Chain A
Amino acid sequence: MTRIWKFGSDVDTDQIVPGRYAPYMRPVEDVGTAAFIEAHPEFNKNACPGDIIVAGENFGCGSSREYAVLALKNRAVAVIIAHSFARIFYRNAVNLGMALIEAPDLVDNLQDGDDCQLDLPSGRLTVNGQIFDLPVFSPFTEAIVTAGGVIPYIQKFGVLPGEKPED
């Protein structure tokens, strides 16, 4: 069984991975072990593959460091559901093929430690036996995430997202 880790608003990238733990300062393979290493030691120690992060407004604000997303991806966080996301974090996550969902009402219904089961393809989240429908992605975002990220997208379609072949 996977669980929910609930965070507040304005979770910044220094909390997700402090700059002192950047791949520049340590081996890149270790970035997952730095996820929330100081801001949430319990998550850092106990988060399991498939767990879900739920948060308030502006998740991922601050630095452009993509390794904040990479750390959570390497820990196999299944999805992040928040009221809203900071711009660069959102773009970084989509680029790495990681699912982010903006769903304020849903966030308010979810509690830290809740058992959950995610069925992303069918857009369903089961929490303590209750089933929630997830909002759909924009087609633009979905195409990139489905391809597995922006580089797989470019390699598959031969163009950038948003680019017409004749451009």
Chain B
Amino acid sequence: MGQTLSEQIFSNAAGRTVSPGEIVVIRPDVVMSHDSLTPGIIRILADQFGQTSVYDPDQLVFVIDHVAPASTVGTADAQYIVRAFARQNHIRLFDVGRGICHQVLVEEKIARPGTIVLGADSHSTSYGSVGAFGTGMGSTDVAVVWATGKTWLRVPETLRILVHGRFQPGVTAKDLALKIGRQITISGATYMAIEYHGLEWLSLPGRQTLASMAVELGAKAGLVPPSGDVLDRFDVPDWLYVNPQAQYSRTIEFDLAELGPQIALPHAVDQVVDLSELYGTSISQVFLGTCTNGRYEDFKEAAVILHGKKVSENVRMIITPASQKELLRAMADDTLTTLINAGAVLTSPGCGTCMGRHQGTLGQNDVCLSTGNRNFRGRMGHPDSKIYLVSPAVAAASALSGSISDPRAL
């Protein structure tokens, strides 16, 4: 019987053929943690394991991206602890400004096809964009891997999303990600791995957008089978391939010919409607960034719309590159200049205001159009503030008018 990608990856890691539902103990290839949780994991390691060193430093990666640069004395002190621990244990650390963990691990090819990448961050599903099994874990789970080199995982069933056709003009991977949530809901893939099929033509950034939002469906992982853009950049092990005999618990099909721009309403990622239902809704802030939509391609998508124009005087447009490399790409042509000329505010590469801690926290009356992945109540600031989730094209078109607008009308 054929195996899904996740089953192949788990079989390779376990050294035997495994099936969905089995619990396996494996050594993950990579364990990533960021500044928000690493201080706590260091504390768990010390207090509960009585250790100040880790089992295998080469397994670990630290990224300082969640509050970067530090915004308070407390965050600065916590980052000091992370840097000192990394130096002492010879752990790779990407410091302030290098970028969002999920972007950096792909750029550095630390997340590779066929590997298992655990992250102390729920959006670790992003690594599925390159055909890795990426999944989020809590601090104690990560401390266990630091101390023992191992973790236990249940082999998940796989849900297949089968996509037909290509995006219509003005429609992107973000709209597909939102549409999937609209159809299967925020818990539609709980405990499952998702495989996205029919997207051989989709570039890596589009795959990252989709895979990052797999967790918003409850999924444990979201893998795009390596092809096209990913084959050009990464080596793929010969045992990792789409087996026509693989068993999927369910297949859900989407036809891109019928997909228009989507928007998620406050305060749920699966409360999604066609953009046309919200035309004219006033906004006060636009946030272009995050591991979901903070790459050069996303900035370009916005720049094409904003070229030679100014954002509305009623709107602050905050742009936060996913990484230093993505920022440099936006500087290499006129993308960044176009955005700043239009009135956008550039912040340091990192998570930015996605979780409301700095660089654009929302006040009580704010209405934010975000290219991020979560719009839970209070996530970006005051609990009365509102967050809508959209594509970069919709964000840019709406920044121009000051109200929710359709990029296809421009």
A contact residues vs B (CB 8 Å cutoff): 10, 12-15, 18-20, 22-26, 28, 38-39, 57-58, 61-67, 69, 84, 86-88, 91-92, 95-96, 140, 149-151, 154, 160-163, 167
Contact = CB atoms under 8 A, between A and B. Distances in A.
Contacts of B40: 23-24, 28, 66-67
B136 interface: yes
B404 interface: no
B138 A14 contact: no
Contacts of A161: 23, 152
A20 to B, nearest CB: 6
A10 B383 contact: no
B379 A19 contact: yes
Contact of B187 (A10, A23, A38): A10
B281 interface: no
Contacts of A150: 140-141, 144
7 contacts: A25-B357, A62-B374, A64-B37, A91-B137, A151-B48, A151-B49, A161-B23
Contacts of A163: 25, 150, 152
A144 to B, nearest CB: 10
A64 B135 CA distance: 10
B148 A160 contact: yes
Given A10-B268, A151-B49, A154-B144, A66 B25 contact: no
B376 interface: yes
Nearest to B217: A61
| Most chain A beta carbons < 10 A, residue from B39, B78, B122, B268 | B122
A165 to B, nearest CB: 11
| Most chain A beta carbons < 10 A, residue from B39, B72, B379 | B379
B106 interface: no
A84 B74 contact: no
Contacts of A62: 122, 374, 376
A45 to B, nearest CB: 16
B363 interface: no
Given A15-B377, A69-B138, A88-B138, A58 B187 contact: yes
A149 B144 CA distance: 11
| Most chain A beta carbons < 10 A, residue from B121, B122, B124, B138 | B138
Contacts of B48: 151
Chain B: interface size category: 35 or more
Given A15-B377, A25-B74, A86 B356 contact: no
Contacts of B120: 64
Contacts of A28: 40, 43
A69 to B, nearest CB: 7
Given A62-B122, A151-B44, 13 more contacts: A14-B374, A14-B379, A24-B36, A58-B187, A61-B186, A62-B374, A64-B37, A64-B119, A86-B187, A87-B191, A88-B138, A140-B23, A151-B144
B151 interface: yes
Contacts of B220: 87
B378 A66 contact: no
B75 A25 contact: yes
A interface, by DSSP: helix, strand, loop or mixed?
Answer: loop
Contacts of B143: 151
Contact of B356 (A12, A19, A88): A19
A26 B124 CA distance: 25
B236 interface: no
B25 A162 contact: yes
Pairs A-B, 6 closest by C-beta atoms = A66-B138, A92-B138, A19-B355, A14-B376, A58-B187, A162-B23
Contact of B144 (A23, A61, A140, A160): A160
Nearest to A86: B218
Contacts of B136: 64, 88
B24 interface: yes
Given A19-B355, A86-B218, A92 B141 contact: yes
B378 A14 contact: yes
A154 B357 CA distance: 35
Given A14-B376, A84-B187, A162-B23, A20 B356 contact: yes
Contacts of A149: 140
B83 interface: no
A48 B227 CA distance: 54
Contact of B190 (A15, A23, A25, A84): A84
Nearest to A68: B138
A117 B107 CA distance: 54
Given A14-B376, A15-B378, A24 B139 contact: no
Contacts of A57: 187
Nearest to B355: A19
A161 B26 CA distance: 12
B67 interface: yes
| Most chain A beta carbons < 10 A, residue from B74, B151, B186, B268 | B186
Contacts of A160: 25, 144, 148, 150-152
B357 A87 contact: no
A162 B140 CA distance: 17
| Most chain B beta carbons < 10 A, residue from A13, A24, A65, A69 | A24
| Most chain B beta carbons < 10 A, residue from A14, A162, A163 | A14
A5 to B, nearest CB: 18
B190 A58 contact: yes
